[in-house]
Amino acid sequence: MIRFVAIAYLATLARGFAPVSLQGKGFVSQVTTTAPLSVTTLYPSLASSLAVVSSGEKSSIDQSTKIYGPESKETPKVLGGVKIGLRKLVVITGASSGLGLACAETLAKTGKYFVVMACRDVEKGKRVAKERGMPDGSYTVMKLELASLQSVRDFVANLKAFKSARPLTHLICNAAVYKPTDPEPAWTDDGFEMSMGVNHFGHFLLVNLLLDDMSRAKGARVCIVGSITGNTNTVGGGLVYPQANLGNLAGFEKGATKPVAMADGKPFFGAKAYKDSKVCNMMTVSELHRRYHEDTGIVFSSMYPGCIAETALFREKRPWFRKLFPVFMKYVTGGYVGEQEAGERLAQVIDDPQCNKSGVYWSWNGGAQTVGRWAPDGKPRGAGGSGGEIFENQQSDAVRDTETAKKMWALSKKAVGLTNKEMYKNGKLEEDL
């Protein structure tokens, strides 16, 4: 009972503790599950607009200030086939920090993979790759701003120019934005609320634009990082307010663009916006599996890497909280996992032969559906934290709601302007679903 009270108290303070999949500041903070940077920190040019919104004087943000403009466009790299050689080609979004960087490092150092680090800040990506000792010739850094659908399309074009006829083997959609304390929504270049726009819509378009190419690769895999916060059958998703809930997707039906900030059409709530986006991520995996696995052979999966408690995610919290929370996650809930181990887990989903099953939500050490159980070493086990073996976890009923997932897919396709011509086999499989 004492443990439960402690969990409820700290969980309330954490407000959705450690959605372990923010983007590293690689893009809109393409946080690899680890950095709830404020939008004004990431985009100083938006500060004045957000200030106006916060003051209540005006409810619109100046969309003339683009996050991704002509000056942001990257010159395509070419002749990548020579660099790639016989290695498998993997793209990782949000690879400039946190979970994405740890995964990129792990895969690059195996010698079996050539890693494309898809980041908002290319120079930062290059710097951290060298700092982490990623072998020369094992990676390249390419521009990807998921807060812009045009940037997503430019990235896909640049990737194809770089790799030439070589198909993409693996895609890891890891980057994310988390803004639980923002009182007002920020908007992507296309008018989506930032969390949903980056975490879901940007990745939804990216995956669909690459499916046809990946279908030519042997043993191709796509992994979209999920979160316990989007699953109400877990401690973090069911106990910690607010719970994820897409409702009847009224917001998506209205186009999901400004001034509509939430998937359910209700007023903006930053913590819930993140959780809803993770539900959409996991539903996307289920729909990709249902629609395309049999025809393409691509393995589609999601995963929860554990709670990375020592991250920039809590930089806005008071010092005592930042000091206590990792200890709490280690010794009370048992959900703690270090950044490097989390990265190795994400890499395992791509590399391990036992993960060659499509439509699975992978977890470790209990999957965070309960608090940890006592162990002789004093560290609770069974809550998704460090250690343990990989297993097929079960998602919440809401995430596995097929009818809502179908609706989410159709409305997302419309929102991002995805045409049948851009899809796998010119969208022919869509006609039968």
For the sheet containing 221-225, what is the strand order? 139-143, 113-119, 88-93, 170-173, 221-225, 299-303, 360-364, 390-393
Compute how many other C-beta atoms are within 10 angstroms of the C-beta atom of residue 341: 18
Does residue 242 have a cis bond before it (omega within 30 degrees)? Answer: yes
Q: How many residues does the chain have?
A: 433
The one catalytic residue in 43, 68, 113, 274 is 274
Picking from 323, 302, 276, 310, the residue whose alpha carbon sits closest to that of residue 178 is: 276
Intra-chain end-to-end CA distance of the chain, in Å: 48
Residue 68: active-site member: no
Nearest partner of 138 among 77, 76, 83, 81, judged by Cα: 83
Element housing 390 (H / E):
strand 390-393
Side-chain-side CA neighbours of residue 401 (13 Å): 19
Q: Which residues contact 349 (CB under 8 A, 6 or more apart)?
A: 221, 223, 301, 303, 355, 362, 390
- CA 201 to chain CA mean position, Å: 11
What Rg do the C-alpha atoms of the chain give, in angstroms? 20
Tokens 């960087």 belong to residue:
101
Phi, psi torsion values for 135, nearest 5 degrees: -55, 140
Q: Which residues are catalytic?
A: 274
